[in-house]
Structure 1
Amino acid sequence: MNEPRRLTVDLPARGGAMAVLEWGDPGRPVDLVFAHANGFNALTYRTLLAPLAERFRIQAPDLRGHGATTLPTAIEGRRGWGDHGADLAALLDTIDGPPVVLAGHSMGGTASLLAAATRPQRVRGLVLADPVVMTRPAVLAFHLPLLRDLPRRSPLVVNALKRRSRFDSRAAALAAYRGRGAFKGWPDAVLEDYLTDGLVPDPDGGLMLACTPQWEASNYASQGHDPWRAMRRLTCPTHILKAEAGLACHVPEPPRGLPHVTVETVPGSTHFLPMLQPEVVRGALAAMLEVPDAA
């Protein structure tokens, strides 16, 4: 499979550097920027993205606290995903050329929304695979002082903090994950890609998760951002692929008052549709990339 180029993009205003994978002809402008889900990394999506590199130039960053990115991960006082959105916006500022298609899965999709709302001139379209978008009342509730800490009690946070973080080898990690939990049904190639950049050397021996359980839990617990406000601020075409069996995305089909947003519920899909139904997500990405830039 097409091996990505590994880039390091310095973002001094954000406090460090972002690791970015790139596929496609480096002589053409960047066409697509794709952001991964919480706990994963850019290489996890190689099976999804690499086939598009025959026609498009693609960049996929490791978000803060994931993979090889060195941006700081301060948990104390953190309330939302504004840091991820600002990081992606800063990455967009480093890209020369015409506006790009911005895309992502789960948290990466929501972070893409937040980034696009602050850099509308740099984004010509969005493709979001089951982005995390709570109901409008829930988003409002999470801004109230008495309720804003409610997400910290969710099972996602509790389970993330219990997650095993160290392994003797990659083979041991592969055996522990294969066919279990969130990884049920994943092709081995995708799981192996996740582990390639998802594990780093442990100073005490063996390997440990690049995204610590504490940071993964912080992402689940920090729900003070407002994706609905971001969607209202945008005018570019936004296509949401919604999981049929999922609880992350609460954008209705069709969404009221958002004429630029289309929602497609993918039959038989789960929250992990980029891993389990990559052809559907790849088709949506290609369709958006082929839409002429209105600018």
Structure 2
Amino acid sequence: MSELVELRLRDRRISLGARGGDILGYEFGPADRPVDLVFSHANGFNARTYRSILAPLGARWRVLMVDMRGHGRTELPDEVEGRDSWLDLRDDLLALIEAEGLSNVVLSGHSMGGCVSLLASAEAPAAVRSLVLFDPVIIPEDKGPPKPEVLNSPLAVGARNRRAVFASKVAVVEAYRGRGAFRAWSEDMLVDYVTDGFRDTDDGQVTLACKPAWEASNFTSHGQDPYDAFDRSVCPIHILRAEVGSTCRVDDQIDRLTQGGRIRIETVPGTSHFLPMERPELVREALEAAMRA
């Protein structure tokens, strides 16, 4: 691959005022209709990663994908000192909803982005039409300081030790292609991730846009309570979780959560935590159904 593909998306820069800066992302679909869908990405990724998965929806729907704090092109502060939850990410999403005057919108996300969407829906019931969550991170609230096994989990340690600097974005693609978490990814998905996942440095190299310390912080900061958000939300919720290695750990609560039918939890056979990359057509079907409802 001699160069990275440039894609035609509408750039979005939205000021979050008191939140400390601007949140950036992309938009596609008819510009003359209200935003139908806001999509939030997984920890360590960025909005553009999901471009090839979501772009076909733009034939009818207006879709906004945003880079969360500490990721991609977003310019919000990413200090980890004293951080113990994802409530800062929740409040960024709530500020975006307010800044854009969104209403009757579907919130969706993958992994951390799914959990953050759930947390936001509980605080803004009048604005959120429904939720579609892809293997969201759902674990019980854990008050108090993080336990050593969380601080030193393989995910957190791996994030802290992740190689941050490469010679070029092309070199990153070559290094990642077909390896580790990227084994099931298409070339477009990988190129999209790298395009906004790395930033140029003054010495002509590229470095991770999501700093290793910030990625690790997201793996260790779980002071949020998703079960409280489930209870306080009022909109329909559709969860598609992985069959293998799911981060949606709700088995002991599944009967309570799904009682009444407002919350649907579906395990997708043959999928891992990277369900959106493995089953993009299923992602689009679920989102289409939510936006048509």
TM range (shorter): over 0.9
What is the alpha-carbon distance in structure 2 between the residues aligned to residue 231 and residue 33 of structure 1?
Answer: 19
Partner in structure 1 of residue 81 of structure 2? 76
Taking structure 1 as the reference length, the TM-score comes to 0.93
- Check the 8 A contact 2:35/2:64 in 1, yes or no: yes
What is the alpha-carbon distance in structure 2 between the residues aligned to residue 191 and residue 255 of structure 1?
Answer: 37
Is 1:29 the counterpart of 2:44? The answer is no
Cα offset for 1:169?
1.1
Partner in structure 1 of residue 283 of structure 2? 281
Partner in structure 2 of residue 52 of structure 1? 57
Cα offset for 1:20?
1.9
- Cα shift readout 1:156-180 (whole Å, capped 9, x = no counterpart): 1001111000110112101111111
Unaligned runs of 5+ in 1: none
What is the alpha-carbon distance in structure 1 between the residues aligned to residue 152 and residue 85 of structure 2?
Answer: 15
- Check the 8 A contact 2:12/2:27 in 1, yes or no: yes
Give the alignment of 1:148-187 within 5 angstroms: 148=147, 150-187=149-186
- Cα shift readout 1:200-252 (whole Å, capped 9, x = no counterpart): 11123300011111110011011111111111101100000010012311123
Cα offset for 1:257?
4.2
Change (3 A) 1:239 1:257: closer
Cα offset for 1:144?
3.5
- How many residues are treated as equivalent by the alignment? 285
Cα offset for 1:96?
3.2
| Deviates most, 248-257 or 2-11 | 248-257
Cα offset for 1:43?
0.4
SS in 1 for 2:265: strand
Give the alignment of 1:216-235 within 5 angstroms: 216-235=215-234
Cα offset for 1:268?
0.4
Taking structure 2 as the reference length, the TM-score comes to 0.93
CA RMSD after TM alignment: 1.6
- Check the 8 A contact 2:257/2:263 in 1, yes or no: no
SS in 2 for 1:60: strand
Cα offset for 1:97?
5.3
Is 1:247 the counterpart of 2:246? The answer is yes
What is the alpha-carbon distance in structure 1 between the residues aligned to residue 202 and residue 219 of structure 2?
Answer: 27
Cα offset for 1:149?
5.5
SS in 2 for 1:271: coil
Cα offset for 1:78?
0.3
Is 1:90 the counterpart of 2:95? The answer is yes
Change (3 A) 1:173 1:257: closer
- Check the 8 A contact 2:94/2:124 in 1, yes or no: yes
Alignment-mate amino acid for residue 143 of structure 1:
K
Give the alignment of 1:196-275 within 5 angstroms: 196-252=195-251, 254-258=254-258, 259=260, 260-275=262-277
SS in 2 for 1:22: strand
Cα offset for 1:275?
1.1
| Identical positions, percent | 50
- Check the 8 A contact 2:23/2:68 in 1, yes or no: yes
